[in-house]
Structure 1
């Protein structure tokens, strides 16, 4: 199949999409807690049996509704189990269901050497009403959904023919009122096209849940929904803001993706994360999600297949659900104090229907207190530089009798400039267009860009705010930590820097002077 209906769990900018329904923010939380996502497909080859063909394709399968509940009042149903910590408080629960639904039944015929598709029966049921069974409920509860998008009403012919729809319901109050927690969730009466259609029919549902737990780290959570049509010639970028990552230590960022996806064996689709230092996109992948075939008709949690559901089809015939941590070893992709994460979605052959995005990351406690609680502008504290500045200030307030020399007539003798500094200043200044003229504390030079970027990240982990620049005379990459117009004052700071590991050989460099 060459149609994908995607649901993503990332923080995104609503202005990044141009076709379909503009994205809008659904929620935003700053709290100690975490997320869970569950869901299942609603179409397969058999109503109750597990689908076992690993390379089966939905456009070559005569689709029927999955119906596992033995309830005569439902025509489709599938199940998934939720597991949250004991005592956790549900703060948000968003239920989504989506499908391709140009009609009730589709047929496939062969005419000569061509395969043609015909939708025999038009839409015959409303698709915004489903039934939900959950822990604490007595049977099914009817859920009325908000129609986020209906492709049948779109002016774009491809969308009108595939007729995807997306529905949403905030069921937070429903779950909280019933004290719902871990256990089995069943969604019934999700509507889709049965049989065959061009590109194949797909349908599925997901529950995205945010919970509060004081044992978890402070995190930022947000979610958006809408509908965007992404084609091979139309790569999309999504921007995630309204947070600041932790000041030090590992930056942990998670995303959750749900999708109705086309061909399991059709490669060329992917999600990438923007790496600011190298200004390039790094493919998002895991052990069960691949860089060149991320959407592969499966349900996965981090690096494992998720099978706590009925039916537990390993090949979900077009439906994808994935919870993924953005790989960030040594904070190579997302650095400490990062304020933005950008994602890119592209496909070389399939088309994508993006309808949901949410994002979470551990955040700075200083940012939370200053920005969220007090409503003040954000200010990044640089621990290493702050410490050095304090030590220098202490030196400057030391009694002048300890630092001044006097001659026989009582006149003060002005110390000559430090010899080591004088030697450094004898070196001709570099000419670097765009840089301020002055003096820079440099602590490493590299001939290769990737080595410089790794060193820069290492300095960031130590609490500095390093900056990289390139000397156009030799294309060498310099990393500097400090800057001043006053070489003597900068030299005082240099002496403090040299007391730290990895900075013993730091020196002062002139730029755009002489």
Structure 2
């Protein structure tokens, strides 16, 4: 017979949960900052050919903060579809966990088909460290992560962290392997807290966010080639283009595919940023959808094929953070033995953090 928990039992659970969070926060404070580099070579992090796919959950770590009692004005507009940076409006950390001991938290849903097994998962986080006179405080290489219904655990950057200082803004990205946590926790809402980005009013703008990428195996899905690339690649007026090539593919005609991109410091309305994908020797296709114009792909959005991704908070304008999944099926109409992704920009550019791809294959 199932027994209900009495007040004493509930009290013990609350105390244990509080101690667990305190331990995670203490671990985060004590951990050393990761080594940094102004640029990290963009390389293939993981690849596999299997029946299954790739899933993504993401959210921003900075939001526009409206003055008390104001429901209109620049901040309200910036939270929706208005172009531009956060400008001089104040920014703040979102808070969805209702815990006073965390500085900020946001949540997003990872959708994995039932019956799947997670093969690999990685968390990326980053954003603006300094904007104007506002400097982020704390360790950028450490965050707190909670799986669906679970408690926070401290996650430390496992690799060199990208960190590029510029006159207007100072950006970074860090990442860590989360395969064990995601394999155990499965699909559902993930919460990430304590991303140490800048906040406050700034003409340069402040922004940041996180992306959880999960590769899964599922016998009911098509055989696919899945690849995850990452690094820390600044695209600027001096370096306006960057190319990533996936070779050795066996993509048959009329295959389906998708590609996801993680980037920082891209603001909507500039009309400066584009992405193309080329299958084999065929003509390149411009990647775009209803939320991401072909000439403004890095436009502060978190979307799945042009639709808003499931997350909280869910403001449409993410103030410089991009984590989007695109349909590249039209580019695969004639099949291919390789895929070439080309990122281009004009001044002022953005910071590219990750690219992930899945495409049907023969073997």
- Given the two structures, how large is their TM-score scaled by the length of structure 1? 0.57
> Does structure 2 conserve the Cα–Cα contact (< 8 Å) formed by 1:145 and 1:168?
yes
Residues of 2 paired with 1:261 and 1:271: CA distance? 16
Indicate whether 1:289 and 2:292 are aligned.
yes
How far is the alpha carbon of 1:23 from its aligned partner?
2.1
Match of 2:176 in 1: 169
Equivalent residue number for residue 313 of structure 1: 315
Report 1 or 2 for greater relative contact order, CA contacts < 8 Å, sequence distance ≥ 6: 2
Offset at residue 46 of structure 1 (A): 3.1
Which of 103, 109, 125 lines up with 1:75 in the alignment? Answer: 103
Question: 2:133 is matched with which residue?
Answer: 118
In the alignment, the residues of structure 2 paired with residue 309 and residue 23 of structure 1 have an alpha-carbon distance, to the nearest angstrom, of 28
Q: Would the aligned equivalents of 1:147 and 1:165 in 2 still touch at CA under 8 Å?
A: no
**Which has the larger share of helix?**
1
Distance 1:161-1:316 versus aligned 2 partners, 3 A rule: closer
Give a deviation string over 1:409-455, Cα, whole Å, max 9, x none: xxxxxxxxxxxxxxxxxxxxxxxxxxxxxxxxxxxxxxxxxxxxxxx
Mapped to 2, the partners of 1:84 and 1:230 lie a distance apart of: 32
- Aligned partner of 2:39 in structure 1 is 20
Q: Which residue of 2 aligns with 1:54?
A: 81
- Does the CA-based 8 Å contact 1:281-1:344 persist in structure 2? no
| 1:410-429 aligned within 5 A | none
- Whether 2:26 is the aligned partner of 1:34: answer no
* 1:78/1:169 CA distance change after superposition, 3 Å: same
**8 Å Cα contact 1:150-1:163 kept in structure 2:** no
Which whole-Å CA distance do the structure 2 matches of 1:166 and 1:41 have between them?
Answer: 13
The whole-number CA distance in structure 2 between the counterparts of 1:29 and 1:94 is 15
Query: Is it true that 1:266 corresponds to 2:266 in the alignment?
Result: no
* 1:305 positional shift: 2.1
Q: Which residue of 1 aligns with 2:13?
A: none
Query: Cα offset for 1:193?
Result: 0.6
SS at 2:133's partner residue? strand
C-alpha distance in structure 2 between counterparts of 1:297 and 1:77, whole Å = 19
Q: Quote the offset at 1:123 in angstroms.
A: 4.6
Q: Deviations over 1:145-199 (max 9, x none)?
A: 23533426xxxx63x76331111111111232xx312221110001101113453
CA root-mean-square deviation: 2.4
> What residue in structure 1 maps to residue 260 of structure 2?
256
Alignment correspondent of 1:415: none
The structural deviation recorded for 1:24 is 2.9
The one of 217, 221, 227 equivalent to 2:222 is 217
SS in 2 for 1:75: coil
Note the C-alpha offset of 1:362.
1.0
Q: Deviations over 1:251-272 (max 9, x none)?
A: 2221011222332111121101
Q: CA deviation at 1:330?
A: 7.7
1:107-145 CA distance string (max 9 Å, x none): xxxxxxxxxx334xx4531111111111252x2111112
| Closer, same or farther: CA 86–330 of 1 in aligned 2, 3 Å | closer
Task: Say whether the 8 Å CA contact 1:148–1:165 is kept in structure 2.
Answer: no
C-alpha distance in structure 1 between counterparts of 2:97 and 2:175, whole Å: 23
Q: Aligned partners of 1:60, 1:251: CA distance in 2, in Å?
A: 47
1:144 is aligned to 2:156: yes
Q: Structure 1: 5+ residue runs without aligned partners?
A: 1-18, 107-116, 366-514
Is 1:236 aligned to residue 242 of structure 2? yes
Partners of 1:330 and 1:165 in 2: how far apart? 34
Change over 3 Å in CA distance of 1:52–1:118 after alignment to 2: closer
Distance in 2, Cα, partners of 1:354 & 1:76: 24
Q: What SS does the corresponding residue of 1:328 show, helix, strand or coil?
A: helix
Q: Secondary structure at the match of 1:291?
A: coil
**Counterpart for residue 348 of structure 2:** 350
Equivalenced residue count is: 316
CA distance in 2, matches of 1:329, 1:356: 20
Pairwise CA distance, 1:34 = 1.0
Q: Which has the larger radius of gyration?
A: 1
2:194 corresponds to: 189
